[in-house]
Structure 1
Amino acid sequence: MNKKVLIAGWFSFELGHPTAGDILALNVTCEWVEQAGYSYDIAFDLPFEGGVNWRLVEASTYSHVVFVCGPFEQSQYEADFLNRFNTCRLIGLNLSMLVPLEKWNPFDLLLERNSSLTVRPDIVFLSQEPQVPVVGICLVEPYPGALDSVANEAINRLVNSRQMAVVYIDTRLDSNNTHLRSSAEVESLIARVDVLLTTRLHGTVLALKNNVPVLAIDPEAGGAKIVAQAEKIGWPIVFKADELDDQVLANAFNYCLTDQARRKVQECRDNSMVMAKEIQNEFISELTHPIELEIKFQNRLANPVANKWMSDLSASSRIKPNWVNKLKKNSKKLVKTISYLTLPIPIYNYLLSRKR
């Protein structure tokens, strides 16, 4: 008897919605088939590559066909597949049988995950997929003078160069793109990644504070606050957006995954906390013994020029309150609406039809 097996599943259908669990179950099945002394082909469809197309192979090539993992019912996909390999020994493995078995069981051997008769543990419990680093990505939004797009592209190239589980983290709380609602949620997520890639100052700080190695890129040419902060606390993995090199970034990322990097993080964290405590002491001392602060305050009040902070700003550079911008926007809409309503009806109807 020909001892070749075709292994199929929802990864064998372009619109089969395959999951990570399907692929892990497939890997387990391949191991079991090899242990049983059989060779095998895998039926893949897009977006997966390799394997065979089950619609094109000769059914007589295979002694057994295994359909592994996921729901299984009496629908068109299942019918097409079963009819194609009706002359083979049909095996169902790790399936959730949606039709009661007393009404329908198309398999010669069924080791289902669950059915109307029994429940078994999912075979993915036996999968041994190697784990990859969990990498947080925390990016600053574009702002004038920043080379954020250069930094972002470099980070994307690094991410695409190897396997890693990417988690996007937004530190903004007024409008958060990653559905985080508080500083505690932001920090808790950063604390749980293996490495953080960031163009944000507080991405850098929160990572190091929580013993997470960070690959920081200062988005300003020549470096600004991120470079200054990293140099002050002694963290070496910081780069300037106008001096990026892909190989250097790759080497830095590899370093961030080492025990040596973890020890360096701890050293920087401890030193930073000592220096921050000094700021705390100075702040409290100035408030509790405010002699020098009071002298500076009185001198400022006595000097009118020192209180004209906006005197040198042009009107165009001054930030307008949000309500002013909204009023201006709504006023334009109101003027436009009034102009439309005062038009003769035939002209109004014509413009309205053009707009639609």
Structure 2
Amino acid sequence: MHDEITAALLGALRRSGWSPGRVLLTGWFSFRDGEATAGDVLAERQVSAALTRAGIRHDTAWSPGFRPGALSLETARPEVYDTLLFVCGPVHGPQVAALHARFGSCRRLAAGVSVVDPADPAVTGFHEIVARDGAAAPARHDLAATAPAGPLPPVAAVVLSHGQGEYGARRRHEEANAKITGWLAGKDCARMPADTRLACDDWRLCGTAEQFLALVSRCDLVVTTRLHGLVLALRTGTPVIAVDPVAGGAKVTAQARAVGWPALVNAADLGEEALDHWWRWALSEPGRTAAARHSMG
């Protein structure tokens, strides 16, 4: 796919013989109270790669909430840069407008953005805009469409229980869930919260058992504290890490033993070492083969 926006951007950067010294690359991912979306980050990667290929020195300003310790708008010194480049998202509102005041000494460009209101000070403050869409702009392919990306990580369905009051003092659900979710936050994977609970009036929940089976069947593995998270994942041939959140073991342990599934962690042994061990196994060929033997598909 032809990247129209970066081609037009490089033309804008060097128009009339002007050559940038150092560029500060910004976007909504730069604002402390903004947000970093997958599209924003891929757009930054695409433009950064284009600048590198063109031999243009540049830095990226990141939100401290997204990448603590990285260069931010607060720590970037305007006098270091002669160009500010804003990529992706809408050029709209006071946060974008404030960039023009802080970096008033820089040439300011925007690329791959949406122009909602051409009269907005956030828009008029740029010297040039290469828009992806807007009132007077032809529609162009978004920057994220052709951005470089690495190998896709595994998709993990996360099926947790928050109830089961019948176990009384033996319940370790809150501690188990906190350890699991804290551990998962550090894994390179796409995390997908899922629930075995069905509903006909909540779009976030499956409405039929078949819908839930379809969901877990498309995942690379399942991490669960629910008996049916274990049973239904294995029914679809999806490897599962089963955690029993009841002290001393209860129905999750009993079911794992009944079906001969080894990837079981009890509440007392729950920690990163045990979870990492079974993560590696579940994603390995032996783990996938073991799960496939349970499949009814």
Task: Within 5 Å, give how 1:277-316 maps onto structure 2.
Answer: none
Give the 3-state SS of the residue equivalent to 2:206 in structure 1: coil
Give the 3-state SS of the residue equivalent to 1:268 in structure 2: coil
* Residues 1:173 and 2:173 are matched in the alignment: no
CA contact (8 A) 1:168 1:178 kept: no
Q: How many angstroms apart in 2 are the aligned matches of 1:136 and 1:125?
A: 26
User: Displacement, 1:31?
Assistant: 1.3
Q: How many angstroms apart in 2 are the aligned matches of 1:222 and 1:56?
A: 52
- CA distance change for structure 1 residues 129 and 2 in 2, over 3 Å: closer, same or farther? closer
Q: How many angstroms apart in 2 are the aligned matches of 1:217 and 1:57?
A: 46
The aligned counterpart of 1:111 is 130
Give the 3-state SS of the residue equivalent to 1:118 in structure 2: coil
CA contact (8 A) 2:87 2:112 kept: yes
The aligned counterpart of 1:41 is 59
Q: How many angstroms apart in 2 are the aligned matches of 1:79 and 1:239?
A: 52
Question: How many residues are treated as equivalent by the alignment?
Answer: 269
Q: How many angstroms apart in 1 are the aligned matches of 2:74 and 2:258?
A: 63
Q: How many angstroms apart in 2 are the aligned matches of 1:180 and 1:86?
A: 52
- CA distance change for structure 1 residues 149 and 31 in 2, over 3 Å: closer, same or farther? same
Q: How many angstroms apart in 2 are the aligned matches of 1:56 and 1:236?
A: 50
Unaligned runs of 5+ in 2: 1-18
- CA distance change for structure 1 residues 53 and 237 in 2, over 3 Å: closer, same or farther? closer
Q: Which of residues 152, 161, 167 is equivalent to 2:177?
A: 152
User: Displacement, 1:187?
Assistant: 2.2
One-letter amino acid of the structure 1 residue matched with residue 159 of structure 2: C
Please report the TM-score for the alignment, with normalisation by the length of structure 2: 0.79
CA contact (8 A) 2:237 2:294 kept: no
User: Displacement, 1:220?
Assistant: 3.3
Identity %: 30
CA contact (8 A) 2:153 2:189 kept: yes
- CA distance change for structure 1 residues 235 and 70 in 2, over 3 Å: closer, same or farther? same
- CA distance change for structure 1 residues 162 and 17 in 2, over 3 Å: closer, same or farther? closer
One-letter amino acid of the structure 1 residue matched with residue 85 of structure 2: V
User: Displacement, 1:105?
Assistant: 5.2
- CA distance change for structure 1 residues 228 and 25 in 2, over 3 Å: closer, same or farther? same
CA contact (8 A) 1:195 1:256 kept: yes
CA contact (8 A) 1:21 1:124 kept: yes
CA contact (8 A) 1:197 1:215 kept: yes
Greater shift, 133-142 or 194-203, is seen at 133-142
One-letter amino acid of the structure 2 residue matched with residue 135 of structure 1: A
Q: Which of residues 53, 64, 69 is equivalent to 2:88?
A: 69
- CA distance change for structure 1 residues 62 and 243 in 2, over 3 Å: closer, same or farther? closer
* Residues 1:138 and 2:163 are matched in the alignment: no
Q: How many angstroms apart in 2 are the aligned matches of 1:176 and 1:146?
A: 28
**Structure 1 segments (4+ residues) deviating >6 Å:** 174-177
Q: How many angstroms apart in 2 are the aligned matches of 1:148 and 1:80?
A: 46
RMSD, aligned CA: 2.9
User: Displacement, 1:178?
Assistant: 4.8
The aligned counterpart of 2:45 is 27
Q: How many angstroms apart in 2 are the aligned matches of 1:245 and 1:56?
A: 37
User: Highest relative contact order (Cα 8 Å, sep 6+), 1 or 2?
Assistant: 2
Q: How many angstroms apart in 1 are the aligned matches of 2:243 and 2:116?
A: 52
Task: Within 5 Å, give how 1:205-284 maps onto structure 2.
Answer: 205-269=231-295
User: Higher helix proportion, which one?
Assistant: 1
The aligned counterpart of 1:94 is 112
The aligned counterpart of 2:217 is 191
The aligned counterpart of 2:141 is 121
- CA distance change for structure 1 residues 231 and 72 in 2, over 3 Å: closer, same or farther? same
